Structure 1
């Protein structure tokens, strides 16, 4: 005799909330021939539509969610010659002011980490029976055992460093046979990967961050899932995915989506090609798929009390569907900020993808994406400080990066970074040069936009992407009991940071904690001067706030700056407090700048 468990295997979303802005809720019922059943609901629910697909194991039911009250309701399934069965479905009471939650902005500093490589607090879940890949710390590209509790245990370290916002790579189940640690080939987007912890752990991470006045951003993947995703292994319909006769890789040409001369062939292969063979491309033209993705993102925001979203591979989506996805989330949470990964190196092309872009408007497109990743600035910094240059490069490319700010509708909506989980480690690129790190970090913390730090940057961590992605994703020293040295601890503690690590950490901490309370740097206007002879000078200013002058000397020699040139930025100030060296400077006539040094001067 078939039991309820053998008939109905999944209901998604697993629950919902009363009082949401989303007026129509699409429920997915999955089970053996579930579409052969008639479905009715209890009083208080109204079914608007029942949709069947070519796979009889699915039933999509659309509810009128406009006036639902909190409580537990029921769905009854009936089939001739089979016993009826009834299941409960809960609509939770929505937390107060959820719709108007605040989010991140340019006052924040992001910390990006990979949970599997950050800290291992619970070795008992390093490997679990139901998930294929087991822990293998000796494999650079295998699972190492970091978990959510490991992140929670080190939140005080992050707060002390000056971090305000945590961005973790995806935490949902990734039941792949290899390479599952990174999380981008998800196999169940309503469950936390059991090797990282549980939903309760994730909610506790959010709670502990908020207790410390910090924020949590989810890494969301709209473009693809893993090939082992339960739903992909039993597709509701063939057009749930972008299908090809033979495996077809994306051509990774985002430009084809706005190139007026692009062939349909190239555009289709970029947009519909699979990211890799193990990451099937979702067909967001299918309204069932798009609704699923919209509701799933909202579910995580509401369930975990999230403060924002980072969208992976944003420019690989069907771009019209991406707009609908963003609009639905923004309608639910008008103040929620969202950053999209836009891996483009040209400022005009990057600007096309930002909300209200004039460049996008010329192409009859508005992405609705508030924030984008500033790869032009990243590229300039990595190139300027590349240790294998025969001589120090001038700062002209840095200056020229900001010259192009007129392309962006909102330059403050750019995420700036030295490195991330997909790029070369900056401290490898610059050969472990502390002076280069100080200058580059000063730049990303004092120019417009949202700075992002990658875990380990602050202790000088290195790794070579040429050896594979695993080499830029090493374990954070001290995150595992086996580690002989603990970089989470100060150098005065037993096994604490060594001299090299502390030199990076002390500078990072001082800079980030100064930035945390400086409105001028958060929101101020930007004024810069043409870089000359390895020296670049710029100002941040707001009405009735202290002006900030930043001087970068990337020369191997001391420079004497005649300050008359910078009168427009100095605005009459004759002295200033240099916050990195804790000295008061005379700015009346000229200033001596030490070699390979950044200055941040609060004008007085």
Structure 2
């Protein structure tokens, strides 16, 4: 433990007396909007010491808790220049200690950084399963779980360097933003590869790399005009977190006493008829027995989470957060956390995982929601995930015939409810992610159905997100084989792999068909403003054919998704409003020019994306 502590301080260039085992945050920045910083000092009986600072640094509060190993010291940094300020801890009859607290110089324009938006296309990876460029860090002597690629649910060795070495692949594909599942340390004895049960939230898991490696990833992405999104967990930590093992306060986590599992009833957050026992169990119950639920009603906890989030944005140069299990948090606490981050970075973006199956319930959690306003609630969360569209995609492309509620009507009905959202362009749209079944498993490897789904995701309103490997047809059956099957290794990410799907020559003919279609659409939308922010005009589907338009003052496009196995004729007079006088259009997939002055026939189970002239 001691070796680990000194390694932590060594990495940040800090030398301290052994009595001070940790200080968090380890440093801050000059000129931040959040200039009142609460430093957490940790060490054996450290609360017995008094605190003094240089005259120019004001201590506005000192907080002790029932655990004498913690001391919370609030300092004012407003007006202080970048420098190192020695904070001294002293006790009569004992040798005094000092901590060199550094205020760093901010990067120019840091406060006004632009977050991800509808002009981006996000690629989601699980780093342990993407690419392993540094086998020497696959296991770590001070962390419990060792690498075992033969175990589907074990650690396989993917790392940050593997991501960096494949950024050219992502850029060529047309990706503009990367969301990685968490990279912070997770010392669970098993299944730690998902990294949602974190054991240190100021440290990248050394099996992925170092804090500096993560910052280098952001820098390399910036060179390519790509954005980095961190998967942030506010609701819980892992049972192996060092603070969980020595709680600062009894109520740092929710206790019953001890563990009780959540009932997962997120509807209790707004249900006017909900019982207190159900509401409490959803908000305060643990996500699992290995993920203690953080108590955001405790000001020390909430402030710790706010500072940690801002620290990672500033340190790494992040462009966004995806917040795990957003709607399991205490809704007042998560609202304060979100507002604090957005106040510091007004152009930043945060998308919350609100895994619900009703548009009104999802909308409740978006900033300035007309639904949330009914209860005078505002989460300040800019973006939410369009899970209802995902639900539709998972079934409708397997429905060859249209009924009143089946087939492409599912997509039409989903967008018909957009009036419930405050900002439809800030919805994350996706076919699948790391928690859902693989989309190509649902389609049984049918590339035509994949093309229909990707056309919808990449041309409708909102911010599209792809799951790694979907672009080469990767499959996985979660119901039958569990999470590990939908989180397989990307072929070619490990030395010695029989196949390297990162290259055209290394992919099969079918994989290249998936890939080339995805690449064509992604690169088309990259610089096409009408797809980013254009209005959506949709027509009620007929014969399982869904037609919609995206348009602005200068440009217009027509999208046809024929989910019918048979070719279907379209009477173009019906779409006069959307065509707005256009007589021809360029098919962006084939490059052909198509006349629109007569009936149009669309092949079975195929999309058509027309740039109108």
TM-score by shorter chain over 0.5 = yes
CA 1:387–1:401 in structure 2 vs 1: closer, same or farther (change >3 Å)?
A: closer
Structure 2 residue corresponding to 1:62, chosen from 70, 74, 80: 74
Structure 2 residue corresponding to 1:317, chosen from 324, 329, 351: 329
- 1:539 alignment counterpart: 549
Say yes or no: does 1:508 pair with 2:522: no
CA 1:157–1:193 in structure 2 vs 1: closer, same or farther (change >3 Å)?
A: same
- 1:426 alignment counterpart: 439
Distance 1:571 1:63 in 2: 62
CA 1:563–1:31 in structure 2 vs 1: closer, same or farther (change >3 Å)?
A: same
Give a deviation string over 1:174-225, Cα, whole Å, max 9, x none: 0110111011000000001000000111011000000001010111000000
- 2:537 alignment counterpart: 527
Distance 2:80 2:189 in 1: 42
Give a deviation string over 1:478-502, Cα, whole Å, max 9, x none: 00012100000112xxxx1111211
Distance 2:478 2:313 in 1: 33
Q: TM-score, normalised by structure 2?
A: 0.96
Structure 1 stretch 53-62 or stretch 462-471: which is displaced more?
A: 462-471
Q: CA deviation at 1:394?
A: 2.1
CA 1:262–1:460 in structure 2 vs 1: closer, same or farther (change >3 Å)?
A: same
CA 1:100–1:29 in structure 2 vs 1: closer, same or farther (change >3 Å)?
A: same
Q: CA deviation at 1:330?
A: 1.0
Q: CA deviation at 1:44?
A: 2.1
- 1:601 alignment counterpart: 610
Structure 1 residue corresponding to 2:394, chosen from 360, 378, 382: 382
Count the aligned residue pairs: 597
Structure 2 residue corresponding to 1:407, chosen from 414, 420, 423: 420
SS, match of residue 416 in structure 1:
strand
Distance 2:520 2:16 in 1: 59
Structure 1 stretch 62-71 or stretch 285-294: which is displaced more?
A: 62-71
Distance 1:212 1:23 in 2: 32
Q: CA deviation at 1:23?
A: 2.8
Q: CA deviation at 1:84?
A: 1.4
- 1:464 alignment counterpart: 477
- 2:378 alignment counterpart: 366
Q: CA deviation at 1:6?
A: 3.3
Checking the alignment, whether the CA contact within 8 Å between 2:147 and 2:156 is kept in structure 1 is yes
SS, match of residue 488 in structure 2:
coil
Give a deviation string over 1:530-586, Cα, whole Å, max 9, x none: 001110100000012x20000011111111111000000000011110111211111
Checking the alignment, whether the CA contact within 8 Å between 2:306 and 2:337 is kept in structure 1 is yes
SS, match of residue 241 in structure 2:
coil
Give a deviation string over 1:105-136, Cα, whole Å, max 9, x none: 10100000010000000000001101110001
Structure 2 residue corresponding to 1:480, chosen from 494, 498, 509: 494
- 1:592 alignment counterpart: 601
- 2:244 alignment counterpart: 232
Checking the alignment, whether the CA contact within 8 Å between 1:170 and 1:184 is kept in structure 2 is yes
Structure 2 residue corresponding to 1:271, chosen from 274, 280, 283: 283
Structure 2 residue corresponding to 1:158, chosen from 156, 170, 178: 170
Say yes or no: does 1:555 pair with 2:564: yes
Say yes or no: does 1:220 pair with 2:232: yes
Q: CA deviation at 1:389?
A: 10
SS, match of residue 600 in structure 1:
strand
Give a deviation string over 1:494-531, Cα, whole Å, max 9, x none: xx111121110010000100111110011000000000
SS, match of residue 209 in structure 2:
coil
SS, match of residue 108 in structure 2:
coil
- 1:351 alignment counterpart: 363
Structure 1 residue corresponding to 2:309, chosen from 269, 282, 297: 297
Distance 1:475 1:4 in 2: 42
SS, match of residue 78 in structure 2:
coil
SS, match of residue 99 in structure 1:
helix
Checking the alignment, whether the CA contact within 8 Å between 2:400 and 2:407 is kept in structure 1 is no
SS, match of residue 297 in structure 1:
helix
Checking the alignment, whether the CA contact within 8 Å between 1:387 and 1:431 is kept in structure 2 is no
Alignment of 1:434-449 (within 5 A): 434-449=447-462
Q: CA deviation at 1:68?
A: 1.8
Q: TM-score, normalised by structure 1?
A: 0.97
SS, match of residue 63 in structure 1:
strand
Q: CA deviation at 1:164?
A: 0.1
SS, match of residue 268 in structure 1:
helix
Checking the alignment, whether the CA contact within 8 Å between 2:235 and 2:329 is kept in structure 1 is yes
Structure 2 residue corresponding to 1:112, chosen from 124, 132, 138: 124
**Consecutive unaligned residues in structure 1, runs of 5 or more:** none
Distance 2:249 2:214 in 1: 32
Checking the alignment, whether the CA contact within 8 Å between 2:352 and 2:381 is kept in structure 1 is yes
Superposed CA RMSD in Å reads 1.5
Q: CA deviation at 1:247?
A: 2.5
Give a deviation string over 1:284-333, Cα, whole Å, max 9, x none: 00000000000000000000001111111000111111111111111111
- 1:96 alignment counterpart: 108
- 2:143 alignment counterpart: 131
Give a deviation string over 1:83-108, Cα, whole Å, max 9, x none: 11222111101111110111111010
Say yes or no: does 1:489 pair with 2:499: no
Distance 1:451 1:208 in 2: 22
Checking the alignment, whether the CA contact within 8 Å between 2:400 and 2:564 is kept in structure 1 is no
Give a deviation string over 1:409-438, Cα, whole Å, max 9, x none: 111111000100000100001101100000
SS, match of residue 7 in structure 1:
coil
Distance 1:460 1:43 in 2: 63
